[in-house]
């Protein structure tokens, strides 16, 4: 029993260091219970966890992990003060990097294309999360892993339209891959500014299924959390890669999956996340390989917004 | 006496307010009253049953014969020949009209008909939807005063009308003038079903033709035609040739001695130009079982595909092989245990020169296809071929294509 306890304490230390999202928990206090309730979770892979840290910190807790696993009898060094101090140091260092580092102004102003997400290693997958209708009781499955040669991400799984037997759901069948919201030092929410670009650029290899590309705006209002801007991405299947270019003017506005009557263009200066949804009502396996996701400026594209507001639906807007 | 009056009043109140208030207001003193009181005009069945559930009264003797669980279910089972098509569906709808002149229970019937549409194969038929909307009584649900217009007039009926339109939307059926006329006649111009109709008319044309790789709704059933369609669909190069190397034997002629002959449909892209080059490296023939799920038709397009691509050092990835996918057992193939098995680290990307879809997934089929390729491109015989054995079945006995099979087996042993 004592050994299990030690193991758990060892895990605790690992979690404490390996989870950057929990950095502010000691300060918040309220979330502290959740923080310590993650003790029972299995060990996160130490390589993945520590690869995000740099400097002397990494060496330290790498050593600690090894120590815990090999000889649990040895008393690990548990200190709340040290943990808090280290986390604070980590965040202050990031803050300093944010302030000091930068790019020359002409670089930023004259930028024509930018790769926002690319898949070249395991740490790129940590920026993404996948979900399927298992969360509502469905049977779809979706997985995300690195493709061959570590050159792309492979999103694969099985779609199943069988509705969950909960008495109220009548339809089901979706799989999605959503990017995480970028965080800066002290876990502040960040957003992307794409206001100088006008086209989304994806290099994908699909199996012929249509996907929906959803872009979420960075918003602070709880009531608007289900609003997003969407358009479709059609893959052609076969062995060929394809380069999909979607102008931002094509994205339509929806709330809780329903297209709104009042349409407006996507605000490009505060982009929070991007997602891909598959829900084409066809049961069976699917896959989508993504090489990179970028944005670029297409000077030939001058359309501002593709959808006019209907005078029949909202007569007050159109006069 | 006044106590009895009060309880009676309370009872009437709870009926008027429906089930939720009824559960709160009904006390034990009320429950001792006999249940044979006349039901109020607006008393719904739900309220009545909720009162009943509170009162543990003995079950009443049934006067009527047992009915189906869903009302009007029997109308759909009355087709004389038992067949389910559009005619029998419309017959059931018509029978409902004859069944009761006052259209009693038409909302239940429309919901049931919406659920039955897929069984009868009429879920994409606009005329049937118009017939369903025609069941609604006309002019009754139109608001007549400003008060009725402010509050939702006949909400359950409007919800039912929206459900019909929603099902049309899900199956991609565009409403026409008749639908609009019916809705105006039934619910009026300012109603929720009309709003839904306007939205449908606004958004359907915008998304109707945005797919750059369109797939027809009804795909060919013949596997050879399906494979030809799939190859044409995947190939961006319009000058590529589609060749049918082998057609499956008809089923009756397949004896015990003949092995079943799978179909092979191949497509070669610019093989002439490619073979005139001198290839410094062996050409790779990775094979992978592949479910070519083309948008709408994942269930029907199954088969094995193999691609040829020269081994290149260039970083320009054009094809990525083999495909980690599964093949459906229906058209003759293997079902992969997992996705990870098809991983083949040795294959890099290069231009694709040919691909094929075959009904079977084994070495003999692959050898047959390569032999067919060599007939048009004799240079191919000099090029060493590498195959990846990741997706292939156990090879049958090599009989005629001796050298290719030996080559394949050697490669397979080398890789496994």
pLDDT tens string, chain A, 319 residues long: the values are 444 444 444 444 444 444 444 443 434 433 333 333 333 444 444 444 334 433 333 444 444 444 445 555 667 778 899 999 999 999 999 999 888 887 888 888 888 888 999 898 889 999 999 999 999 989 999 999 998 778 889 999 999 989 998 888 888 999 999 999 999 888 899 999 999 999 999 999 887 888 999 999 998 898 899 999 999 999 887 777 888 999 999 999 999 989 999 999 999 999 999 999 999 888 888 889 899 999 999 889 999 999 988 888 888 877 6
| Least CB–CB distance from B352: residue in A151, A239, A284 | A239
Q: Which of B240, B293, B312, B338 to mutate to test the interface with A (most CBs of A within 10 A)?
A: B293
Calpha distance A157→A277 (Å, rounded): 13
Residue B376 lies in a domain: yes
Q: Would residue B45 count as lying in a domain?
A: no
Cα A249 to Cα A144: distance, rounded to the nearest angstrom: 29
Cβ separation B230–A237 shorter than 8 A: yes
HSE-CB at B298 with a 13 A cutoff on CA atoms is 20
**Is residue B48, in this structure, part of any structural domain at all?**
no
Predicted local confidence at residue B57, as pLDDT: 57
End-to-end CA distance of chain B: 95
C-beta atoms of A239 and B323 within 8 A = yes
CA A197 to the chain's CA centroid: 21
**Chain center to CA of A241:** 23
Report ipTM (2 d.p.).
Answer: 0.72
The answer to whether the Cβ–Cβ distance between A148 and B345 falls below 8 Å is yes
Arithmetic mean of pLDDT, B389-410: 39
> Looking at the predicted structure, is the pLDDT value of residue B315 above 60?
no
Residues B84 and B190 in one domain: yes
Confirm whether B178 is domain-assigned: yes
Q: Compute the distance between CA of residue B28 and CA of residue A272 in angstroms, rounded to an integer.
A: 58
Q: How high is the pLDDT of residue B65?
A: 56
Q: Are residues B77 and B195 in the same domain?
A: yes
- List the single residue in B211, B318, B355 with the smallest CB-CB distance to A234: B211
pLDDT at B406: 38
Are residues A147 and B320, on separate chains, in Cβ contact within 8 Å? yes
- Residue-level pLDDT at B268: 55
Q: Is the pTM of this model over 0.90?
A: no
Q: Choose the mutation target among A208, A278, A313 for the interface with B, i.e. most B CBs under 10 Å.
A: A208
Please identify which residue in the block is written with the tokens 């990846």. B388
Q: Find the CB nearest A285 among B233, B291, B321.
A: B291
Cα separation, B205 vs A187, whole angstroms: 44
In this structure, of A230-239, A244-253, B109-118, B156-165, the range with the lowest mean pLDDT score is A230-239
Asked if the structure places residue B54 within a domain, the reply is no
β-strands B283-291, B385-388: how paired? parallel
In a domain, B226, yes or no: yes
Judge whether residue B1 has pLDDT over 90. Answer: no
Calculate mean pLDDT across residues B170-180: 93
Residue position matching structure tokens 């892979």:
A45
Cα→Cα distances A182→A189, A192, A274, B24, Å: 6, 8, 11, 51
> Helix or strand or coil: residue B307?
strand
Query: Mean pLDDT: which of A285-289, B51-55, B70-74, B248-252 is highest?
Result: A285-289
The residue behind tokens 């565009």 is B174
Chain A contact for B234 (CB, 8 A cutoff) = yes
Q: Which residues pair with B388 in a beta bridge?
A: B286
Are B122 and B85 part of one and the same domain?
yes
B228 and B366 in one domain?
yes
The answer on B94 and B221 residing in a single domain is no
Contacts of B84 (CB under 8 A, 6+ apart): B119, B120, B121
Do B222 and B87 fall within a single domain?
no
For residue B178, the model assigns a pLDDT of 95
- Asked if A240 lies within 8 A of B352 by C-beta distance, the reply is yes
Per-residue H/E/C for chain A: CHHHHHHHHHHHHHHHHHCHHHCCHHHHCCCHHHHHHHHHCCCCCHHHHHCCCCHHHHHHHHHHHHHHHHCCCCCCCCCHHHHHHHHHHHHHHHHHHHHHCCCCHHHHHCCCEEEEEECCCHHHHCCEEEEEHHHHCCCCEEEEEECHHHCCEEEEEEECCCCCCCCCCCCCCCEEEEECCCECHHHCECCECCCCCCEEEEEEEECCCEEEEEEEECCCCHHHCCEEEEEEEECCCCCECEEEEEEHHHCEEEECCEECCCCCCCCCCCEEEEEEEECCCCCEEEEEEEEEEEEECCCCCCCCCCCCCCCCCCCCCCC
Contact A238 B298 (CB under 8 A): no
Residue B220 has pLDDT above 80, yes or no: no
Show the tokens assigned to A134. 């298992």
Closest Cα in chain B, distance from residue A277 (Å): 14
Please indicate whether, in this complex, the C-beta atoms of A289 and B320 are within 8 angstroms of each other.
yes
Average pLDDT, stretch B199-227? 84
Mean pLDDT of B38-67: 50
User: Does B290 lie in the same domain as B165?
Assistant: no
Q: Which CATH superfamily, name and number, covers A115-182+189-296?
A: Galactose-binding lectin (2.60.120.430)
Asked, for residue B66, whether it belongs to a domain, the answer is no
CA-nearest residue to A154 within chain B is B324
pLDDT per residue as tens digits for the range B329-377? 222 222 222 233 333 343 445 566 677 776 666 677 777 777 777 777 7
**Option in B236, B296, B320 nearest A148 (CB):** B320
Residues B230 and B81 in one domain: no
As a whole number of angstroms, the distance between CA A232 and CA A252 comes to 10
In chain A, which residues touch B (CB < 8 A)? 147-149, 151-152, 154, 156, 205, 207-210, 232, 234-241, 259, 261, 280, 282-287, 289, 291, 307, 310, 312-313
> How many angstroms separate the CA of residue B42 from the nearest CA in chain A?
27
CA pair distance B130, B182, nearest whole angstrom = 8
- Using a CB–CB cutoff of 8 Å, tell me whether B294 touches chain A: yes
Give tens-digit pLDDT for B285-308: 444 333 333 322 222 233 333 333
Query: What's the confidence (pLDDT) of residue B221?
Result: 75
Q: Are residues B149 and B288 in the same domain?
A: no
**Is the model's pLDDT at B101 over the cut of 60?**
yes
Interface A:B, Cβ pairs < 8 A: 114
Residue A156: list chain B partners with CB under 8 A.
Answer: 324, 339
Please state which of the ranges A116-130, B40-54, B63-77, B85-99 shows the lowest mean pLDDT: B40-54
Whole-number pLDDT of residue A208: 80
Is B77 in the same domain as B174?
yes
Across all residues in chain B, what is the average pLDDT?
63
Note whether B77 and B129 are same-domain residues. yes
Is there a contact between A240 and B319 if contact means CB atoms under 8 Å apart? Answer: yes
> What pLDDT is stored for residue B64 in this prediction?
57
Residue whose token pair is 């082998």: B246
| Structural domain total, chain B | 2
> What angle is formed at CA B287 by the lines to CA B283 and CA B293, rounded to 5 degrees?
130
pLDDT score at B359: 67
pLDDT at residue number B66: 58
* B residues 153..182 contacting A (CB < 8 A): none
- A241 to chain B: which residues are within 8 Å by CB? 317-320
B320 min Cα distance to partner chain A (Å): 6
**pLDDT at residue number B362:** 66
Chain B residues in contact with A287 by the CB 8 A cut-off are: 323-325
Sign (positive or negative) of CA dihedral B19, B23, B25, B29: positive
Give me the domain span that covers residue B129: 73-208
Tell me what pLDDT residue A79 has: 87
pLDDT score, position A37: 39
Q: Same domain, yes or no, for B106 and B188?
A: yes
- Residue B213's pLDDT is 85
Mean pLDDT of B229-244: 75
Comparing B129-138, B167-176, B181-190, B361-370, the range with the smallest average pLDDT is B361-370
Say how far apart CA A155 and CA A275 lie, in whole Å. Answer: 12
Q: Which of residues 252-291 of B touch A (CB under 8 A)?
A: 291
Contact B345 A280 (CB under 8 A): no
């Amino acid at each position: 029993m004592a050994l299990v306890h030690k193991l758990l304490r060892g895990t605790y230390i690992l979690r404490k260091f390996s989870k950057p999202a929990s950095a502010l928990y000691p300060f918040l206090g309220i979330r502290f219970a959740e923080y310590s309730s993650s003790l029972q979770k299995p060990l996160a892979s130490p390589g993945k966890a520590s690869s995000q840290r740099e400097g002397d910190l990494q060496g330290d807790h790498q050593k600690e992990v090894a120590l815990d696993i090999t000889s649990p009898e040895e008393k690990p060094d548990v200190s709340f003060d040290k943990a808090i101090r280290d986390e604070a140091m980590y965040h202050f260092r990031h803050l300093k990097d944010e302030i000091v580092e930068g790019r020359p102004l002409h670089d930023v102003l004259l930028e024509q294309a930018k790769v926002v997400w690319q898949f070249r290693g395991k740490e790129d997958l940590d920026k993404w999360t996948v979900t399927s209708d298992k969360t509502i009781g469905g049977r779809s499955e979706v997985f995300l892993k690195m493709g061959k040669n570590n050159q792309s991400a492979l999103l694969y799984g099985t779609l199943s339209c069988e509705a969950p037997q909960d008495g109220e759901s009548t339809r089901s069948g979706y799989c999605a891959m959503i990017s995480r919201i970028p965080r800066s030092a002290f876990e502040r929410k960040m957003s992307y500014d794409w206001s100088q670009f006008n086209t989304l650029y994806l290099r994908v290899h699909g199996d012929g299924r249509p996907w929906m590309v959803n872009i979420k705006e960075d918003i602070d209002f709880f009531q608007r959390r289900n609003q997003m801007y969407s358009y479709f991405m059609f893959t052609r299947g076969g062995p060929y890669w394809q380069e999909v270019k979607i102008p931002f003017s094509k994205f339509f506005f929806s709330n809780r999956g329903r297209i709104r009557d009042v349409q407006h263009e996507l605000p490009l200066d505060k982009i929070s996340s991007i997602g891909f949804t598959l829900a084409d009502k066809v049961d069976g396996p699917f896959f989508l390989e993504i090489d990179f996701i970028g944005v670029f400026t297409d000077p030939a594209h001058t359309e501002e917004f593709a959808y006019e507001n209907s005078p029949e639906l909202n007569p007050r807007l159109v006069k | 006496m006044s106590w009895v009056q009060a309880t009676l009043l309370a009872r009437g109140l709870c009926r008027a307010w429906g089930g939720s208030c009824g559960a709160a207001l009904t006390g034990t003193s009320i429950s001792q009253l006999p249940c044979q009181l006349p039901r109020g005009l607006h008393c719904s069945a739900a309220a009545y049953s909720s009162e009943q559930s509170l009162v543990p009264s003995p079950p009443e003797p049934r006067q009527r014969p047992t009915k189906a669980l869903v009302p009007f279910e029997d109308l759909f089972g009355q087709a004389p020949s038992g067949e389910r098509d559009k005619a029998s569906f419309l017959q059931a709808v018509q029978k409902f009209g004859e069944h009761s002149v006052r259209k009693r229970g038409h909302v239940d019937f429309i919901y049931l008909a919406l659920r039955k549409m897929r069984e009868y194969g009429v879920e994409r038929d606009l005329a049937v939807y118009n017939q369903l909307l025609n069941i609604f009584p006309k002019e009754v649900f139109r608001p007549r005063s400003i008060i009725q217009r402010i509050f939702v007039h006949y909400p359950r009926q409007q919800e039912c009308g929206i459900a019909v339109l929603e099902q049309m939307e899900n199956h991609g059926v565009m409403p026409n003038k008749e639908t609009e006329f019916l809705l105006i006649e039934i619910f009026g111009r300012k109603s929720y079903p009309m709003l839904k109709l306007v939205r449908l008319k606004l958004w359907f044309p915008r998304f109707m033709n945005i797919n750059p790789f369109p797939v027809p709704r009804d795909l060919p059933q013949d596997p050879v035609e399906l494979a030809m369609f799939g190859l044409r669909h995947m190939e961006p190069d319009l000058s590529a040739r589609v060749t049918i190397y082998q057609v499956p034997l008809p089923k009756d002629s397949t004896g015990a001695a003949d092995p079943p002959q799978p179909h092979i449909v191949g497509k070669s892209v610019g093989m002439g130009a490619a073979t005139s080059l001198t290839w410094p490296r062996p050409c790779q023939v990775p094979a992978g079982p592949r479910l070519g799920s083309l948008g709408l038709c994942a269930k029907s397009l199954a088969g094995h595909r193999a691609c040829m691509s020269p081994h290149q050092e260039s970083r320009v990835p054009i094809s990525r092989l083999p495909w980690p996918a599964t093949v459906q057992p229906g058209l003759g193939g293997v079902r992969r245990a997992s996705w990870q098995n098809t991983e083949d680290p040795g294959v890099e990307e290069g231009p694709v020169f040919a691909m094929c879809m075959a009904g079977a997934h084994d070495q003999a089929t692959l050898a047959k296809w390569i032999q067919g390729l060599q007939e048009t491109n004799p240079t191919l015989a000099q090029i060493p071929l590498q195959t990846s054995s990741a997706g292939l079945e156990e090879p049958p006995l090599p009989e005629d294509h001796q050298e290719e099979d030996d080559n394949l087996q050697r490669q397979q042993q080398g890789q496994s």
